Structure 1
Amino acid sequence: MAQLLIVVENEKDWKPYYPSERLVSAKDYLFGEHRDGPAGTRVINLCRSYRYLSVGYYCSLLAEARGHKVIPTVRTINDLSKRAIYSLETEDLDALLQRELGRAGAKSEASLTLDIYFGRTSHAALADFARQIFETFTAPLLRVELRHQGKWRISGIKAGSLHRLEDNQEDAFANALDAFSSQVWRKARARKRYRYDLAVLVDPEEKLPPSNRKALKSFEKAGRDLGIDVELIGRAQYAELAEYDALFIRETTAISNHTYRFAKKAESEGLVVMDDPSSILRCTNKVYLADLLRTNDLATPQTRILHVDQRRMLDTLGEELGLPLVLKIPDGSFSRGVIKVEEAGKLRGAAEELFRRSDLILAQEYLYTDYDWRIGVLNNKAIYACQYFMSKGHWQIFEHQAGGRVKEGDARAFPTTEVPRSVIRLATRAASLIGDGLYGVDIKQSGDRAVVIEVNDNPNLDAGVEDGYLGDDLYRIVMEEFLRRMELRRH
């Protein structure tokens, strides 16, 4: 069972709490018997200060050198010391902060101080915000300064100190520590007989997840047959990522949500990650993809990138691209944020609707086909192929109907050997521009013409669809690639 150590700079700092056999002084951790603790030992560093070259700093630094899993990490300590860095990390949290405090009616206050213990806070309206701050900066105690200047913003974040807690704060800290350490113990028990531990990030409530439940079960079985313990995790387990050897994201990815933070955290901890942060950045923005494909001379539909201040281009767009044409926001998925414009008179209204969501949008030649090819590419090799048919009576694969209902077209899987070689070559070339991860390349084929529509990170791998030809071999191929990469990392 993995060992858990709680490190304090001065043992008097622990006086308000129950005695614990897990408690060690910083001096003992640095120079005593615990310096040779087994790799994988969990360390909660509660030293009074983490300033550069302090005792607290060295506890985290040497923990990493010893193969121990420590919070806070040296990277977190350094990030918290540089406002320019954490300002970039928290931009997306400012919007959440504005919504939550606005909903709570706290707009009139000029400032607010939020104490966060292991992702928990006593300010109920900001519970989700506190958890996300902890996901971004995984430190035991955080003090976040919030300021209202036109709207709420994060004005400062710093690590808190155990010895400065007041009586009413000590109970909250103790409860948070107990809950956090209990999670650590529960997680450590289940995975002893496997060579590697792989976390699969899922959201059970997602309406259109990239893998259905049966597929997730197949990944678990394929992994365990190879000596990999495959465990489903949720967004609340961000702080436990360092316990794993790899992360497989099976939620729809976006720069603005926790999936990107998970990918960045996993990469910084040295895990094998699919999808890696760079792939998410590149694939989730259609403007980037359009320019990347154009620059590298890959065949695409005729495409124009439109800026909100260049509305005059709309007047000639129909003549350039023909009608009907398609308008898209850069970060849409599952056929969302896409408008088909049939008449020139409706072009400006459709564009204005999308400009309200993005300063840049795409206009693209409309190519009708009964189906799109989806070529699954892993490590620059095509591993599966599907035809996705348009939803019956609709021009897209997914038709979003009233009441949140989604109607989806049929799909048919093929061996890659039966797909036109021009389609396979185009798919692998497009994927190689993104990286060597797992991608789904969408291609339209009309006669001899084949064009890339987009490259998807986090492609669908559903039981009964993408595995229609390969069956269980599809899941084994993916797990074998994780195993190969984990072996390379280890050796």
Structure 2
Amino acid sequence: MLRLAMTTDAETFDRVREPLAARGITVKHVQTKERSLRVSDGERGGGGGDDSDEAEFDGFDVGFVYPSRLMEGAVVDARLSVPWVNGRDAVLASRNKAGVLAALDDAGLPTPRTTLVSNPVDEAAVTEAVAAFSYPVVVKPNSATRGVGVATAGDLDSLLGVVDYLNLVHDYRATGDKSYLIQEFLPDARDYRAMIVDGAYAGAVRRELSADARERGRWKHNVHRGAEATGVDLPERGRELAERAADVLGIDYLGVDLLAAGDRLVVNETNARPTVDAATKYEPGFYDRLAGLIERTAART
């Protein structure tokens, strides 16, 4: 059996183990964070670490997706020495929201009106950047996930107030990404996550907050913030848009976030480390195709 290294032990790990085992792929967790990782042993060389350290990383044929923490990931990647279904480049490309939207827009795919602001800038630059938008606008960090730091601003003073907080964060020298996005707000938009496996549509979920949460003014339909994901039969238009987005980015395994508002359907974000939901929410043959992608990736060694 193939041995697949997975660097997450959350929902995806629990859901994929049995279906992939039934298809000849053993899934094992490799811890990459909240631990110590031996880097080298000085003069001894030979890959670093004692025998127990080496045994932890031995025997794998392929990795699922590159670790979310890139610094730790570099060490684990060296120890495992396997090809990844989604490697470092794919994870980095998808994490850069502005880069994704720019590439998709350049390819003619529909996206929300978006402007990247690279700090430090003064208030005049922010005012100029938002001039083409109608309020409210969405303000979001360029490389955060799970809806972290995303806010709306209903007027210029509110926007500048949000930016003040971003400036405090970006003033810290160790902050890597000092950019953020100003984006048009699509009211009452329906939020979908389409799953692409081996470049083809493999199913979708609609993410939606409860009616009570929406009545209280909540609007971010992130599952990690309480929204529920329900399997849906995404129309052909949405399927084709998700597949085209994955093709433009060159990422075979990808979550594509779509927003539908009125007659508009746009790609809002992508995720090269997408959570796998219950199999009932995907197309028949989802795990056959996922297993096939893993096997072909392993064959690259």
TM-score > 0.5 by shorter chain: yes
Per the alignment, residue 268 of structure 2 pairs with 453
Deviation at 1:370, TM superposition (A): 4.7
Verify: 1:228 aligned to 2:25, yes or no.
yes
Given that 1:389 and 1:411 are in contact with CA atoms closer than 8 Å, whether structure 2 keeps it comes out as yes
Per the alignment, residue 397 of structure 1 pairs with 221
Larger Rg: 1
Match of 2:242 among 427, 450, 456: 427
Relative distance call for 1:366 and 1:202 in structure 2 (3 A) is same
Per the alignment, residue 231 of structure 2 pairs with 413
What is the identity, as a one-letter code, of the residue corresponding to 1:276?
A: G
Match of 1:258 among 72, 78, 83: 72
Determine the C-alpha separation between the residues in 2 that align with 1:440 and 1:275.
12
Deviation at 1:476, TM superposition (A): 4.0
Given that 1:390 and 1:409 are in contact with CA atoms closer than 8 Å, whether structure 2 keeps it comes out as yes
Given that 1:293 and 1:430 are in contact with CA atoms closer than 8 Å, whether structure 2 keeps it comes out as yes
Match of 2:103 among 292, 308, 312: 292
Per the alignment, residue 46 of structure 2 pairs with none
What is the identity, as a one-letter code, of the residue corresponding to 2:158?
A: K
Deviation at 1:286, TM superposition (A): 1.6
Per the alignment, residue 86 of structure 2 pairs with 275
Deviation at 1:387, TM superposition (A): 0.6
Per the alignment, residue 120 of structure 1 pairs with none
Verify: 1:362 aligned to 2:184, yes or no.
no
Pairwise mapping of residues 21-420 of structure 1 onto structure 2 (< 5 A)? 194=1, 196-203=2-9, 209=10, 212=11, 215-235=12-32, 239=54, 240-241=56-57, 243-249=59-65, 253-255=68-70, 257-259=71-73, 261-263=75-77, 266=80, 269=81, 271-311=82-122, 312-355=124-167, 356-357=169-170, 358-390=177-209, 392-393=213-214, 394-398=218-222, 407-414=225-232, 418-420=233-235
Deviation at 1:359, TM superposition (A): 2.7
Given that 2:90 and 2:272 are in contact with CA atoms closer than 8 Å, whether structure 1 keeps it comes out as yes
Deviates more, 1:237-246 or 1:454-463: 237-246
Gaps of 5+ in 2: 38-52, 171-176
Pairwise mapping of residues 461-480 of structure 1 onto structure 2 (< 5 A)? 461-463=276-278, 467-470=279-282, 473-480=285-292
Given that 1:371 and 1:390 are in contact with CA atoms closer than 8 Å, whether structure 2 keeps it comes out as no
Q: Deviations over 1:360-414 (max 9, x none)?
A: 2110001123531111011210111111114522110249xxxxxx641122112
Determine the C-alpha separation between the residues in 1 that align with 2:286 and 2:23.
14
Root mean square deviation, CA, Å: 2.7
The residue matched to 2:242 in structure 1 has which SS?
A: helix
The residue matched to 1:320 in structure 2 has which SS?
A: coil
Relative distance call for 1:291 and 1:472 in structure 2 (3 A) is closer
Given that 1:226 and 1:480 are in contact with CA atoms closer than 8 Å, whether structure 2 keeps it comes out as no
What is the identity, as a one-letter code, of the residue corresponding to 1:482?
A: I
Determine the C-alpha separation between the residues in 2 that align with 1:218 and 1:224.
11
TM-score, length-scaled by structure 1: 0.50
Deviation at 1:340, TM superposition (A): 0.9
Given that 1:218 and 1:475 are in contact with CA atoms closer than 8 Å, whether structure 2 keeps it comes out as no
Deviation at 1:419, TM superposition (A): 1.7
Relative distance call for 1:216 and 1:360 in structure 2 (3 A) is closer
Deviation at 1:483, TM superposition (A): 1.9
Deviation at 1:261, TM superposition (A): 5.0
Q: Deviations over 1:100-129 (max 9, x none)?
A: xxxxxxxxxxxxxxxxxxxxxxxxxxxxxx
Deviation at 1:437, TM superposition (A): 2.7
Deviation at 1:264, TM superposition (A): 6.7
Determine the C-alpha separation between the residues in 2 that align with 1:420 and 1:323.
30
Relative distance call for 1:290 and 1:218 in structure 2 (3 A) is closer
What is the identity, as a one-letter code, of the residue corresponding to 1:372?
A: D
Deviation at 1:448, TM superposition (A): 2.3
Task: Count residues with an aligned counterpart.
Answer: 269
Per the alignment, residue 174 of structure 2 pairs with none
Relative distance call for 1:363 and 1:249 in structure 2 (3 A) is same
What is the identity, as a one-letter code, of the residue corresponding to 2:136?
A: P
The residue matched to 1:234 in structure 2 has which SS?
A: coil
Given that 1:370 and 1:389 are in contact with CA atoms closer than 8 Å, whether structure 2 keeps it comes out as no
Relative distance call for 1:340 and 1:248 in structure 2 (3 A) is same
Deviation at 1:242, TM superposition (A): 5.1
Relative distance call for 1:244 and 1:374 in structure 2 (3 A) is same
What is the identity, as a one-letter code, of the residue corresponding to 2:229?
A: A
Determine the C-alpha separation between the residues in 2 that align with 1:368 and 1:232.
40
